[in-house]
Structure 1
Amino acid sequence: MSNFDIDELASEYASKSPQQILELAIGQFDNLWLSFSGADDIVALDMAWKINPQIKVFTLDTGRLHAETYRFLEQVRKHYGIQLEVLSPDHQELEAYVRENGLFDFYENGHGGCCGVRKIAPLRRKLGTVDAWITGQRKDQSPTRADVPVIQLDTAFSTPEHQLVKFNPLADYSSEDIWNYIRMLEIPYNPLHEKGFISIGCEPCTRPVLPNQHEREGRWWWEESTKKECGLHAGNLIARS
């Protein structure tokens, strides 16, 4: 990574296609992983797999996903013939958290604590072992993502001893671009999308959106729009503070 100038490349690749950004990522980093949530980030996975069928992919199993998402993850694993590494929460930490706070404390106290145990802790363990990762986040997904660059230093998970590079190849894609790609290439997608779910997360914290509602209004709907991050992309909040 010593010869990898993040700011310079972020500027150079800002107007390039997602495939070109992915080619750079795959060409520069051997220890590179793609994060797949089981939602419309299937597009990033499809693009990366077509460049390198051996792309390494992980997903977070919080224990609270929709049944449709679990089945979709297995469908994707078989469709692409990939090994899908499933990250789970530490069972002792999770048991202690639930014992202390119950199963639905986030409705009263915010989602930060629950997401911290179920998502952030296992993700931090994983990212501490990799050099770079690929996400499917886009600028149009929420106010906190409006300035997302295509390449960045991951300020949320880097440490002084371990600098982590984050690639967001779909940053400039719109929801329409995503669905044009899915339909044109007839790739698999989560069936929850057919039920009004646009942004898909854990079952208790995700609901369908109404016509003309923004997609992130279906996530943590009881909270303000500027707080609709679980911590996976906490750097977005820092960048806009």
Structure 2
Amino acid sequence: MSTPAPAGFEERLAQTRAALRQLASEYQHVALASSLAAEDMVLTDLIAQMQLPFAIFTLDTGRLHAETLGMIDSIRQRYGIEVARYQPQAEAVQAHVAAHGEFAFYDSVELRKECCRIRKVEPLGRALAGCDAWITGQRRAQSQTRSELALIEHDAAHDNIKANPLADWSEEDVWHYLKHEKVPYNPLHDKGYPSIGCEPCTRAIQPGEDIRAGRWWWEQADSKECGLHIVDGKIVRIKAAA
């Protein structure tokens, strides 16, 4: 017996579909930046179902869990979609480790963000070269740093459009969709990892903890971003589908 959808779920799903359709109609080169976690699997499934001409890529930082990388094969098997992998520049990684140590990110927010810059932000710039718009699985409910997330916004850092089609979704919405559509997902989610990043920077959470408590758990909540989602530009909103 299937679980009833959360209240308002169908409206939020319709809004997401409308945002994806508008991206397809208005922009020639669109890509999903997939973390290979739950939200991005929802978007992957929608892109496949709607037969949208979007590329999908992931940032292979060199520190991801084996379970996370395994999702690339799951996507290929389920949807016939190849996920492009963008990796950090080996020389930059080696220089940072030589100067600060392999686990310097535990020492300060500044060193952690520099590690993120090398392993995530710089590869993202290469991944987005030539993209008119890109898509993320961010949600407002994920953290206080995302509480004012727009559905669609201008990304000043990359001078393109950034879409967050799941901005209004709840955790319950995400899991209702995954279960109802039988979408494959990262097995770490069933082991207490609602939010998954690099292996040394992610831990399982305890009952009652915030869903992003396991990300950079040694830092304060207001610093828990890696630099991928710094936006300073004009917000363009899309209305929900009629």
**TM bracket, shorter-chain basis:** 0.7 to 0.9
Extract structure 1 runs of 4+ deviating beyond 3 A: none
- Output the CA distance in 2 between the equivalents of 1:203 and 1:16: 34
- Output the CA distance in 2 between the equivalents of 1:138 and 1:145: 7
Deviations 1:96-155 (A, max 9, x none): 111111110010122201101000011012223211001100000000100001000013
Taking the TM superposition and a 5 Å limit, the aligned residue runs for 1:23-102 are 23-40=21-38, 41-52=40-51, 54-102=53-101
Q: Which amino acid aligns with 2:134?
A: W
> What's the secondary structure of 2:153's corresponding residue?
strand
- TM (normalized to structure 1)? 0.87
Give 1:16 deviation, angstroms: 5.7
Give 1:53 deviation, angstroms: 5.2
Matched, 1:152 2:153: yes
Tell me if the contact between 1:19 and 1:48 (Cα under 8 Å) persists in the aligned partners.
no
Q: Which amino acid aligns with 2:230?
A: A
Tell me if the contact between 1:150 and 1:169 (Cα under 8 Å) persists in the aligned partners.
yes
Tell me if the contact between 1:138 and 1:172 (Cα under 8 Å) persists in the aligned partners.
yes
Tell me if the contact between 1:49 and 1:55 (Cα under 8 Å) persists in the aligned partners.
no
| Percent pairwise identity | 43
- Output the CA distance in 1 between the equivalents of 2:212 and 2:114: 20
Give the superposed CA RMSD: 1.7
Taking the TM superposition and a 5 Å limit, the aligned residue runs for 1:169-188 are 169-188=165-184
Unaligned runs of 5+ in 2: 1-11, 236-242
Tell me if the contact between 2:153 and 2:161 (Cα under 8 Å) persists in the aligned partners.
yes
- TM (normalized to structure 2)? 0.86
For 2:223, the equivalent position in structure 1 comes to 227
Number of aligned residues = 219
Greater mean deviation of Cα atoms: 88-97 or 71-80: 71-80
Q: Which amino acid aligns with 1:29?
A: Y
Give 1:17 deviation, angstroms: 1.3
Tell me if the contact between 2:33 and 2:56 (Cα under 8 Å) persists in the aligned partners.
yes
For 1:115, the equivalent position in structure 2 comes to 116
- Output the CA distance in 1 between the equivalents of 2:177 and 2:28: 27
Against the structure 1 CA distance between its residues 178 and 28, is the aligned structure 2 distance closer, same or farther, given a 3 Å change threshold? same
For 1:198, the equivalent position in structure 2 comes to 194
Tell me if the contact between 1:54 and 1:82 (Cα under 8 Å) persists in the aligned partners.
no
Unaligned runs of 5+ in 1: 1-13
